[in-house]
Homo-oligomer: A and B are copies of this chain.
Amino acid sequence: MAQSMVNNGVNVDALLAAREALKGAPQAAKFTWRASCKWKNGTHSESKVQGFHGLGEEQKHKTEFSFEADHPEIFASEDLAPVEYVLVGLASCLTAGVAAVAQNRGIQLRSVEAKLEGSMDIQGILGIDSDVRNGYDDIKITFHIDADASRKDIEALVAQSQKRSAVYDIVANPTNVTVEVA
């Protein structure tokens, strides 16, 4: 494969160099990601993201990012913003991984689209039935990928992205969460 001709916009050389550098400096691989959230009114809130910690020091995104959330009208809220943030995080993490793995494997991508569906029985969050969980009982992601590669290679690409995805792991496996009042 003419790997040098492939350009998915991912700097794989820099990522491979970072991997080599961090092998000798495991403390630098310890990251802390942060967000803050302010209640606005009702179920409407605004969250902000900018600083994080990694490579042994404080880091900053180029700009501060802001995200509103709210409940839909059929939950008697104003629907000023959505609830589907976990699906967005999952979709974008797997998609970034597809691009990075494709670059590393010399596969030119033309288009990558993902459709996500998460099923949830809201008897859980409404407290109707304590045997029903609050969260998704199942999430399905379907990728449509147009690339210079066989179907088998495209499936292997998606499988490798899933294997290294932070958000897939957070959702699929239990993560310790502590909630405190200051």
The interface of chain A, by Cβ under 8 A from chain B, is 8-11, 14-15, 18-19, 22-23, 26, 29-39, 41-45, 47, 49, 52, 54-55, 59, 61-62, 65, 67, 69-77, 79, 81-96, 98-100, 109, 111-129, 133-145, 151, 154-155, 158-159, 162, 164-182
Contacts and interface: CB of A to CB of B under 8 A. Distances in A.
Contacts of A123: 22, 26, 29
Contacts of A75: 15, 18
17 contacts: A9-B44, A15-B75, A29-B126, A34-B117, A36-B114, A38-B112, A39-B98, A39-B113, A55-B74, A67-B92, A69-B88, A89-B89, A134-B166, A135-B168, A136-B175, A141-B178, A142-B180
A106 B55 CA distance: 46
B29 A122 contact: yes
A155 to B, nearest CB: 5
Tell me what chain A mostly uses at the interface: helix, strand, loop, or mixed: mixed
B174 A172 contact: yes
Given A83-B93, A140-B178, 16 more contacts: A29-B122, A29-B128, A30-B120, A42-B96, A42-B99, A49-B87, A61-B72, A61-B82, A67-B92, A85-B85, A135-B166, A138-B175, A138-B176, A139-B176, A144-B182, A170-B171
A82 B33 CA distance: 10
